[in-house]
């Protein structure tokens, strides 16, 4: 592969990563699963290792989190809040320990003692104490700078405002996770997608009185900056946290040996569904704090800690219906309408079936009992079918050959793979396909494109149904006298929309190219044209 193509591929992956970082850290609304995010990072790091000339400032090996929100004051962490490397199986743990032993120049029979701590799926926070008094609280931010969310953190009862114990350090940053119990989340489920979103949204409230209404919890697990702390191990630190008035995870354990780590991992994973809070893995930390200091950090992660991720959250449900959705590029995506089921703290009623080939490969049918997986995130999919529960009257699902607009769908031949694509597409290249046309217009006004304030997807849908918009250019020819007469509108709201549209009559060339929704032309490629 030539250098130019490699750089394009790498830039695209970096751009995607930044987009997903923003969605996860800044908006608390992830677009992809944890597994997909981890794979994207792996792909980028693999390319960087293979081709030295690729690494940029956007590399996941250099970055932590996302830049802090503009809604809060930015403050620099005295000690950076780093991310963690991930382990997914026993071999990853063995290699992790080998690297530690080699770095410390120890013999292979050297026994490392670990603090094994379940990883709560919440929002990281750093609490600064001076002379025993809670002074300031920061979010993770980008790891170097965080948001000053002190007033919101003060509303959390689990966070001591003053600590009187004699052995409490003169100054220390206590770090931990803000979260919401699953039992408390039930009353919030109509407002938020999941407990993590609820915790994040609450901490970003401008009014602390609103945050106070949310039952936030805080579990402490580490420290950043410290002065005069006379503690020798992580487990000793955790014990002291409890004495100082902080909540710690009751499932924390001190463990030696990889096999014992695995045994504990499997034990906790079995208990996972019975816990009143979401956990997505176990963090292993070298217990000896002096060894931690010797080991130090690599780029954006400590050498002395790793997160052992759990397998994806899953549940069993029944397919009631299969619908075909048409995207702006004409792709036909099958979606299973399932009997609503709670998966990982979120009520799921839709699951993607990806494409026609996936349905054939797994022989997915209407009425099937299936395993639904969320992989800890927001995109549920069908993992497998329980054939034992399939009725004799069950019929194979026939994927439609025609688009609802009447066009015969096609599978394009991929010149790279020398195979036909798995995805069926409507061949319409204009605006004759109504479903494609609507999605194209929604893309045209999306945040990364024209980003017209007050004109969202639902309004586009409504204007389309009322024949006010049929083509992207119709947005600039809207009859605002008709709009102000619509239900929910008025003279002022129509005038505000007109003003927002007028502002977008002049935009950058790259945004305009991107807004056209040309296949394979994302924001980064649009900049190159």
Gyration radius of the chain over CA positions: 26
Nearest alpha-carbon partner for 179 in 205, 162, 151, 158: 158
Per annotation, catalytic residue among 13, 41, 119, 285: 119
Does residue 296 share a domain with residue 210?
Answer: yes
Q: What is the pLDDT of residue 376?
A: 46
Q: What is the largest CA-CA distance in the chain?
A: 81
Is residue 66 included in any domain, yes or no? no
Total structural domains within the chain: 4
Q: What is the pLDDT of residue 70?
A: 57
Please count the helices (runs of H) and the strands (runs of E) in the chain.
Answer: 17, 20
Is 119 noted as a catalytic residue in this protein?
yes
- Three-class SS of residue 212? helix
Does residue 253 share a domain with residue 190?
Answer: yes
CATH number for 346:
2.40.50.140
Nearest alpha-carbon partner for 345 in 277, 281, 265: 277
Does residue 366 share a domain with residue 286?
Answer: no
Find where tokens 């293979």 sit: 50
Neighbouring residues of 300: CB distance < 8 A, sequence distance ≥ 6:
60, 61, 62, 63, 64, 82, 83, 143
Q: What is the pLDDT of residue 524?
A: 78
Neighbouring residues of 65: CB distance < 8 A, sequence distance ≥ 6:
21, 25, 81, 83, 140, 141, 142, 143
Neighbouring residues of 496: CB distance < 8 A, sequence distance ≥ 6:
454
Q: What is the extent of the structural domain holding 37?
A: 3-54
Nearest alpha-carbon partner for 64 in 136, 128, 139: 139
Does residue 273 share a domain with residue 209?
Answer: yes
Does residue 334 share a domain with residue 278?
Answer: no
Does residue 404 share a domain with residue 439?
Answer: no
Does residue 264 share a domain with residue 130?
Answer: yes
Give the integer Cα–Cα distance in Å for 225 and 450.
Answer: 44
Is residue 63 included in any domain, yes or no? no
Which of the residues in the chain have pLDDT under 70? 1-2, 22-36, 38, 55-71, 193, 312, 344-345, 375-378
């Amino acid at each position: 592969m030539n250098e130019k193509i490699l750089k394009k591929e790498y830039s695209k992956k970096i751009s995607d990563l930044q987009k997903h970082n923003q969605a996860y850290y800044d908006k608390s609304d992830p677009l992809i699963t944890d597994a997909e995010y981890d794979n994207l990072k792996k792909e980028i790091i693999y390319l960087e290792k293979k081709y030295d000339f690729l690494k940029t400032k956007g590399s996941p090996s250099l970055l932590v989190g996302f830049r802090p929100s503009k809604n809060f004051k930015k403050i620099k962490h005295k000690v950076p809040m780093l991310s963690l490397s991930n382990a997914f199986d026993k071999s990853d743990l063995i290699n992790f320990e080998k690297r530690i032993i080699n770095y410390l120049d120890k013999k292979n029979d050297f026994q490392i003692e670990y603090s094994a701590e379940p990883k709560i799926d919440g929002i990281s926070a750093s609490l600064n104490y001076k002379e025993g008094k809670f002074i300031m609280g920061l979010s993770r931010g980008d790891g170097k700078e965080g948001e000053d969310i002190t007033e919101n953190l003060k509303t959390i009862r689990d966070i001591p405002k003053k600590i009187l114990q004699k052995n409490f350090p003169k100054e220390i940053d206590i770090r931990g996770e803000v979260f919401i119990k699953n039992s408390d989340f039930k009353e919030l489920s109509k407002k938020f997608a999941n407990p993590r979103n609820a915790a994040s949204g609450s901490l970003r409230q401008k009014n602390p009185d609103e945050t106070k209404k949310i039952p936030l919890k805080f579990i402490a697990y580490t420290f950043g900056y410290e002065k005069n702390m006379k503690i020798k191990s992580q487990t000793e630190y955790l014990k002291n946290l409890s004495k100082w008035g902080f909540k710690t995870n009751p499932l924390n354990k001190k463990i030696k040996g990889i096999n014992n780590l695995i045994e504990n991992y499997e034990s906790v994973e079995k208990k996972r569904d019975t816990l009143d809070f979401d956990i997505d893995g176990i963090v292993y930390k070298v217990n000896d704090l002096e060894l931690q200091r010797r080991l130090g950090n690599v780029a954006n992660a400590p050498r002395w800690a790793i997160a052992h991720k759990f397998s994806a959250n899953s549940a069993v449900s029944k397919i009631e219906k299969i619908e075909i959705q048409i995207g702006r590029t004409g792709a036909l995506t099958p979606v299973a309408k399932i009997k609503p089921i709670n998966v990982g703290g979120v009520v799921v009623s839709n699951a993607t079936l990806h494409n026609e080939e996936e349905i054939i490969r797994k022989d997915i049918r209407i009425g099937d009992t299936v395993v639904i997986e969320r992989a800890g995130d927001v995109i549920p999919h069908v993992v497998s079918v329980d054939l034992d529960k399939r009725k004799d009257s069950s019929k194979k699902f026939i994927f439609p050959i025609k688009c609802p607009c009447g066009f015969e769908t096609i599978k394009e031949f991929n010149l790279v793979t020398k195979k036909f694509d798995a995805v069926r597409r409507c061949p319409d290249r204009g605006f004759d396909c109504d479903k494609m046309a609507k999605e194209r217009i929604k893309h045209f006004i999306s945040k990364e494109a024209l980003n017209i304030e007050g004109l969202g997807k639902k309004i586009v849908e409504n204007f389309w149904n009322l024949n006010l918009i049929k083509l992207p250019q119709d947005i600039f020819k809207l009859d605002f006298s008709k709009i102000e007469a619509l239900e929910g509108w008025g003279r002022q709201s129509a005038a505000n929309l007109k003003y927002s549209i007028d502002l977008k009559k002049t935009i950058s060339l790259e945004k305009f190219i991107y807004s056209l929704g040309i296949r394979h032309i994302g924001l980064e490629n649009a900049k190159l044209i």
